Amino acid sequence: MEKILNYINGALVEPINNAYLDNYNPSIGKVYNQIPDSNEKDIDLGYNAANEAFSGWSKTPKEERSKIMMRIADLIEENLDELAKAESMDNGKPVKLAAHVDIPRAASNMRFFATAILHYASESHEMDGVAINYTLRKPIGVVGCISPWNLPLYLFTWKIAPALASGNCVVAKPSEVTPMTAYLFSKLCVEAGLPKGVLNIIHGMGPSVGSPITTHPGIKAISFTGGTATGKAIAKVAAPMFKKLSLELGGKNPNIIFADCDFDKALKTTMLSSFANQGQICLCGSRIFVERPIYEKFRDAFVAKTKQLKVGNPNDADTNLGAIVSKAHLEKVLSYVQLAQEEGGTVLAGGNKVQLEGELSEGYFMEPTIIEGLAFDCRTNQEEIFGPVVTIMPFDTEEEVVDMANSTEYGLAATVWTQDVGKSTRLGASLASGIVWVNCWLVRDLRTPFGGVKNSGVGREGGFNALNFFTEQTNVCIKL
Ligand code: NDP
């Protein structure tokens, strides 16, 4: 059986303890390869390599760093088909989605930060003939990047690209649930000529690999994307060590549909914002609020379209939903459907595991699910489910829907559908959310601030925000 390897000091290597974990293909419910079950000794190796490489990489001219990152981006594109198939096999998502979204975005992430660093400037403050201050932006040193399973290569590169562009060396951990494309990416880094030790990718579990990254005294900054509970655990150990922290965490995003919306566009996009990637995108809108005059019309059309979605083989071009990422996650998502019914909800569509045939008969498939009749403040409407399950509720006034939308502990993204500019600007201001999309969803300009408020995170990624995070400032004051 194929073994995934760690990438340390420029080489693909076995974990020190020679122990491996099973890696499942969620579409067939079977182990298809093995991944290193690394531990703190591998993290030490990775750290030492990164620390050694830092002096060279941080002094490498920006143009040279940029060129190497552009080569990596080119290689991602040259290997798009292989990477998309690998992402689908590891995660369960349709190949089509990986080929159109995940892998192209990974290449864009590398290119975006490879060029952003060439335009990155710092400030100068002149004191009326007394002195002049200028601010240096220096790389931090060795930084840690930890990413989740839902958009594996997409989010992995979103972290390491700004870290590398700004001259840091990296110890990175992809999710143990979806390690494959990070492994393939490490091969592309070797091929592109990334100097040894600049990036180290170490595979394994959260407690044995993620945790030693966050507690390592030499790793000075942690960029983490994942669940809120994990983010809290990381903050608890990293904050007293005065590490810089960027935390992109969970969400329970509202999708607010006013009666004056463009109905067809709102409906079409709501299909995607509810069920794309099996609802496993932190930005998916899982609570749908519809203004009462169009509630029944919208609900009925949404239910009818949802029942037409095809849950099936991720390799088929007409599949809308592939497999849920793991057995444990499928069980968690199904348990929320059960909870919703206990809380008085009615399942209008879906709600069940899907039994496919042949080699997919043991895969982790689930119907796209819509639930009606729940109070806005019940557990189903407050806790992150992170699967193909949405709730739908009517509302009467703008004030009421803002209160309901803002009622959760999260504040990552919100979507608003209205043709009234006044209403959209008022909601843009009153929704407690890091991102508000009006008449669209998942439209991303990589220069914009990305992140959440409340328990959805701390800090912002995107554009120069990410380069600011991965650099330290020194103000130099020269007396004139
Ligand atoms: P987890 O928090 O379970 O895991 C994220 C990463 O952290 C994984 O690599 C995991 O390893 C690792 N990890 C686990 N425990 C520790 C620890 N104690 N110390 C350090 N690292 C640790 O999240 P999921 O992978 O389940 O991802 C889903 C979550 O991610 C959802 O809540 C979703 O909302 C959120 N998310 C947020 C986004 C945002 O931009 N705000 C974007 C995408 C997802 P392992 O896999 O081995 O457990």
For this structure, is 248 an active site residue?
A: yes
**Which of 87, 169, 189, 248 does the annotation list as catalytic?**
248
For the chain, helix, strand, coil in percent to 5 are 45, 25, 35
230 lines ligand 1 (CB under 6 A): yes
Rounded mean pLDDT, 18-36: 98
Residue recorded with tokens 């009462």: 292
pLDDT digits 0-9 by tens, 177-231: 999 999 999 999 999 999 999 999 999 999 999 999 999 999 999 999 999 999 9
Average confidence (pLDDT) over 238-250: 97
Ligand 1 centroid–CA 295 distance in Å is 35
DSSP code string of 383-444: S---SSEEEEEEE--HHHHHHHHTTSS--SEEEEE-S-HHHHHHHHHHS--SEEEES-SS--
CA 94 → CA 309, 312, 474, distances in Å? 13, 9, 47
Per-residue pLDDT tens over the stretch 412-453: 999 999 999 999 999 999 999 999 999 999 999 999 999 999
Identify the structural domains of the chain with CATH numbers, from first to last.
6-249+456-479 (3.40.605.10), 254-446 (3.40.309.10)
Task: Give residue-wise pLDDT tens across range 148-176.
Answer: 999 999 999 999 999 999 999 999 999 99
Return d(Cα 249, Cα 452) in angstroms, integer: 7
Closest C-alpha residue for ligand 1 atom 42? 282
Q: How far apart are CA 229 and CA 77, in angstroms?
A: 35
pLDDT band of residue 258 (cuts 50, 70, 90) is: very high
Could you identify the atom of ligand 1 that is nearest to the CA of residue 151?
43
Q: What is the CA radius of gyration of the chain?
A: 23
In the annotation, is 282 catalytic? yes
Residue 180 near ligand 1, beta carbon < 6 Å: no
Q: What is the mean pLDDT of the chain?
A: 98
What per-residue confidence (pLDDT) applies to 195? Answer: 98
Q: Does any ligand 1 atom lie closer than 6 A to the CB of residue 15?
A: no
337-370 residue pLDDT tens: 999 999 999 999 999 999 999 999 999 999 999 9
Task: Reduce the DSSP state of residue 308 to 3 states and report it.
Answer: helix
Helix axes 421-430, 398-405, angle to 10 degrees: 30
Which residue of 282, 408, 455 sits with most ligand 1 atoms within 8 Å of its CB, as the best mutation to test the pocket?
Answer: 282
Residue 61 is classified by DSSP as -
**pLDDT, position 359:** 96
Rounded distance from Cα 96 to ligand 1 centre (Å):
24
CB distance 175 to ligand 1 below 6 Å: yes
